[in-house]
Amino acid sequence: TYENSIIPKSFRTPYILLFYSDWCISCLQMEPTWRRLIDELEPMGVNLATVDGERETAFKRRVGVHSIPCLVVTMDGHSSVYKDSLYNVPKIVDFLRSKFPYKLIPKVTNDNVDSFLSGWKDNRIRALIFEKKEPLRLRYLLVAFQHRERVAFGFVQVGKPETAAITSKYKISGELNTLLLFNENSENPMASVSMKDISIDTMHNVIANNKFLLLPRLSNQQMLDSVCPPEWLRPQKRLCAVLISQNSDNHDLARHKFRQAAMASPYSTERVRYTYVYKESQPQFVSALSAGEGSPIEPLLHIVIIWRRDANHLKYEWLPNGWLEATEDDRKLNETRQKLELTIQRLLRVTEALPYAAKVDELADEHAQGTVGKLIGRALLAVDYISDNLTKEQLLPFVSVLASLLFIGAAGYGVSYLVKLEEMSVQKKLSQLNKENVNGNSTQPQLKLHEMRAETFNGLVRLLKPGCRTIILLVDAQSKTKLIPKFHATVWPY
């Protein structure tokens, strides 16, 4: 259950697990606190469950539980053990809050509001939360965590000079909490809710009805299934008009004109959805649609209308006119838009069928990060966290400690590299001597005395053959010239 159910669901909803035992007196004492957690957190969507620590010993070791009772928070696929000895609701809630991704809901001010609202090229709508109090309520964090793949949240603290321009522009009342949702148009929100206390269900419902941009991008299979769901019943035919483009600023105008066509469309989004796709990001999808008859030689900046039969099969028809030429001339643009609407109107008829069929594979996930990307992302978040939480007085000691650690690491690497070179040198000399002995070309052997140093220790001691010994002569500057010749003569026979 943990690996197959809790871990996958924890990427959208946190889990709190209580490990207990029947004989545990402390577990009985914690029962009132656990019931309060259930009453306060379950309505918000937090999942709470109990685990018998005596029966589930392997599971207990798996998540790092060493004593009972014990609370474990599972979020984003990771489990964290609550280690405070005091079990009360405020401390546990603070522990839960600390496990949310850093800057899940960043602060938005007059200086960064434009860049925040214009960041929709990541294929997510924008949401602004207006409230007087800080820190943010847990309910907002839970909603933002659940919808983070579709919505980017920002927090505007009402009553501050640095947010006065935002509250004035959108006519925000300081007495009510407000949630605004934005698509590509940052001047006017597409949805707004103002209440003294916005419930979590209200936020979920508003987001569910406004979770797509005017012109969303088919960036992964989940987006394709949401925007263009499979529907094979003819009376409920749902079409998608897809613009083939590239991730280039040169195609911004074409996408902007197509977005305007979507806004002027007489059909509801439940019947017709306008969208676009990056050709270089989804080459298999575009190739499957452009391989059949009736397809343009170069599909770039052309429109294809699709009707999905199931997860892997669809029917389609290409619009004969290219969209690039239409965007360069207003007259051609109007003619092309009229042809597009007439084509959609014809294909929506129950008796009309789309002429071509194709089999498509699952779309590539453009938002997935590789190992290097995840490491870079975590490093940037760590830098942000340090810069936000360190004062000027703390910065200098931190930089000093960091520089010392880097110096120690570099010095250790340098010493290990020199030792490795010495070991390779000794091995090479031994192999040459062995080769000369085997070939019978060995000359009169010579005894060489090596100086024992830190970098030659491994070569003179660790790499000796089994049964061999190392004899060390300890000398100083005065006795060196007298003792070394005698030592040489003594060890020569051996």
DSSP 101: P
Kind plus residue range of the DSSP H or E element containing 36: helix 25-41
Better-scored residue on pLDDT, 35 or 483: 35
Q: Are residues 31 and 148 in the same domain?
A: no
Say what the pLDDT of residue 427 is: 73
User: Does residue 232 sit in the same domain as residue 340?
Assistant: yes
* CA–CA separation, 229 and 238 (whole Å): 8
The pLDDT, as a whole number, for residue 85 is 84
Same domain for 347 and 237: yes
Asked if 82 and 164 sit in the same domain, the reply is no
Can you say whether the dihedral through the CA atoms of 230, 236, 237, 241 is positive or negative?
negative
Q: How does residue 385 score in pLDDT terms, banded at 50, 70 and 90?
A: low
- Give domain status of residue 87, yes or no: yes
Question: Is pLDDT of 219 > 70?
Answer: yes
259-272: per-residue pLDDT in tens?
Answer: 999 999 999 988 99
**Angstrom distance (rounded) from CA 96 to CA 84:** 13
| 387 domain-assigned | no
Name the pairing type of β-strands 125-131 and 177-182: antiparallel
Asked if 264 and 303 sit in the same domain, the reply is: yes
Cβ–Cβ < 8 Å for 298, 291: no
Check whether residue 92 and residue 124 sit in a common domain: no
385 within a domain of the structure (yes/no): no
Domain end (from 147, 178, 209): 209
What are the residues facing 318 on neighbouring strands?
Answer: 304
Sheet containing strand 177-182, strands side by side: 151-157, 125-131, 177-182, 191-195
Average pLDDT over residues 319-330: 78
Quote the pTM value.
0.74
Least confident range of 84-98, 165-179, 229-243, 338-352: 229-243
Rounded to an integer, what distance in angstroms lies between the CA atom of residue 143 and that of residue 198?
12
Domain containing 350 equals 221-359
Which residue is listed with tokens 């809050």? Answer: 97
Domain boundary among 209, 232, 260: 209
For residue 440, what pLDDT band results from cuts at 50, 70 and 90? low
448 — pLDDT class (breaks 50, 70, 90): low
Is 50 within the bounds of a domain? yes
The answer to whether position 81 is within a domain reads yes
Averaged confidence pLDDT in the chain: 86
Q: What are the DSSP calls for 429-470, one per residue?
A: HHHHHHHHHHHT---S----PPPP-GGGHIIIIITSPTT---
87 and 148 fall within a common domain: no
Per-residue confidence band for 396, with pLDDT thresholds at 50, 70 and 90: confident
| Mean pLDDT of the 132-142 span | 92
Mean pLDDT lowest for which of 114-123, 172-181, 207-216, 234-243? 234-243
Rounded-to-integer distance, Cα 447 and Cα 491, Å: 9
Q: 40-79: b or e for each residue (b if 16 or more CB lie within 10 Å)?
A: ebeebbbeeeebebeeeeebbeebebeebbbbbbbbeeeb
Same structural domain for residues 204 and 227? no
Among candidate residues 64, 99, 134, the one where a domain is terminated: 99
Beta pairing partners, 193:
179
Same domain, yes or no: 264 and 337: yes
**pLDDT over 70 (residue 314):** yes
CATH number at residue 163: 3.40.30.10
Tokens coding 97? 């809050």
Domain total for the chain?
4
Q: What percent of the chain has pLDDT over 90?
A: 54
Whether residues 37 and 157 share a domain: the answer is: no
Please indicate, yes or no, whether residues 186 and 248 belong to a single structural domain of this protein. Answer: no
φ/ψ bin of 294: left (φ > 0), alpha (ψ from -120 to 50), beta (otherwise) = left
Whole-angstrom Cα distance, residue 377 to residue 493? 65
**By the 8 A CB rule, do 183 and 173 touch?**
no
Cβ within 8 Å of residue 386, ≥6 positions away: 398
